Chain A
Amino acid sequence: MTEDVRELAEHLFRHETGRIVSSLVRVLGVAHLALAEDAVQDALVRALETWKFGSTPEHPAAWLTRAARNRAIDLLRHDSRTDPLGAELAASLEAETASGRPAGHAIPDDELRLMFSCCDPGLSRPAQVAVVLKYLGGFSAREIAEALLSSEAAIEKQLFRSRRVLSARGKLLDVGDPGLVRERLPAVHDAIYLLFSEGYHGSHPEQVVREDLCHEAIRLGVMLSRLPAASGPETQALLALFCFLAARLPARTDDDGNLLLLAEQDRTRWDRSLIEEGMRRLDASAEGEELTARHLEAAIAARHASAPSFAATDWGGILELYDLLLRLDPSPIVALNRAIALGMAEGPEAGLQALAEIPDRERLRRYPFYPAAMAELEARAGRGERAAGLLEAALRLGRNPAERELLARKLAACRGSDGSAVVAPP
């Protein structure tokens, strides 16, 4: 113990949870996920009760690992009356600790192995995201419920079912096997992508942007990119996309927390170092033959990131990328964004026509930025009345106070003057 009060790393407890749970599960098997979680929780409470008096150990992470291991050994010994394996597992944990590997020094692959194990084909995508958040991210069921717009009870139930599926698999997935890694990589990408999107576009009623989720997705993506079999172009493209979008986070809301559109953002507040990192990742993603949807999304985000202003953006280039993306991912949201780019590149009438021709536009029925995009193009075509009507419709669809505030602001501007700012999803 030291005398001075040490600054603890931000989110230390949350991040250590993922690291320690994975290192325990490596030895104990996935069947003991719940026990590992209890042991870590106990260690954290112990740390709280001890460290709160002001002195933290020199190596907080190692302290937590040791405390969690000791607790796991106690729990296993206690269970050994009912579980014949308990004593044996406790002994292997002790042997590992005694083997000279410094306590707290987890094997870097532990978390990756747990991540690949969590993205099990027996689980739905949302269930995979929930277990990733729980066991790698250190989020509680309540925090996951808040993030994924669900109830705590529903998440608890889902986690319970997921644990049962994972338990049957026994050991953690071996990430040293390139075949296994490649087989599961798409699921891992999807889970991280969904995690990032939830943070970035989430429809949370109170918070518009949950930066924590975005940063967690980036952390897991960076970890993934260190695994040779998973560090290929698509992982790089995914990370490039995250970097470009995360670079905008500081500019996405004004000082009062109001959502700002891409057209309105103060670009000097964009995080330049993240943009540079994104460019490096984008370069790295270019090797290989395959052009995936992630590559195109990252390339579009890169054009925005390097544009000096909204008006001076390379809309023609962005339109070409959207055309390609639409072929790979013919979703109505992609079509909507393509129509906005078309409207910027070739004028409002072309944009409106493209919006009216979106094949699955029925699926955009409750998406406020569909009528809002139409309104913008109508306003630019000089039909202010129609634009106002569409913005009223958009306002009724607003999913959270920030969205409604933004749309009301647009409506007021539209009625007041020409309503010239582009209403595209921020």
Chain B
Amino acid sequence: MSAFMLIFRGSPPHRDSPEQLQQHMQKWMTWFEGLTRDGVYKGQGAPLEAEGKVLRGTRKTLSDGPYAEAKDLVGGYAIIEARDLDAAVEVARGCPTYERDGAVEVRPVRTM
């Protein structure tokens, strides 16, 4: 088994109604619950705050986030276990984020 990082991108659904927000959230919770039960996800993951700072270059220039368009904003990450990249992609396919125009980046974690 190898480790993969799922990077969740997309802007939060600010325009959704309270009911829609709760329903969408419950889909995520169900998804994570399933991954936890299957031993794919071991709790290594978290949401990220939208605000932040970026340091860049030899002069360590400091700038504010967000760093890209809202739809590219990283909202959180999760580390999962999978046989190979294809299997990890299969896991990411089940994420409810696509309903809200989100995207998931699947990246193998290189072993040191």
Contact = CB atoms under 8 A, between A and B. Distances in A.
Given A13-B18, A54-B33, A48 B76 contact: no
Interface stretch (A135-143, A223-231, A263-271, A285-293): A135-143
A53 B18 contact: no
B22 A8 contact: yes
Interface string B1-32: 00000000000111011111110111011001
B47 A49 contact: yes
B108 interface: no
Given A50-B47, A53-B47, A138 B29 contact: no
Interface hub of A12, A13, A41, A54 (most chain B Cβ within 10 A): A54
A13 B22 CA distance: 6
A54 B25 CA distance: 9
B17 A142 contact: yes
A143 B17 contact: yes
A44 B22 CA distance: 8
A5 B17 contact: no
User: What does DSSP make chain A's interface, helix, strand, loop or mixed?
Assistant: helix
A53 B46 contact: yes
A12 B26 CA distance: 11
A23 interface: no
B78 interface: yes
B28 to A, nearest CB: 3
28 contacts: A3-B43, A5-B29, A8-B22, A8-B26, A11-B19, A14-B22, A16-B18, A41-B14, A44-B18, A45-B12, A47-B21, A47-B25, A48-B12, A48-B21, A48-B24, A49-B47, A49-B75, A50-B47, A52-B24, A53-B46, A53-B47, A53-B76, A53-B78, A54-B36, A56-B29, A138-B17, A140-B17, A142-B17
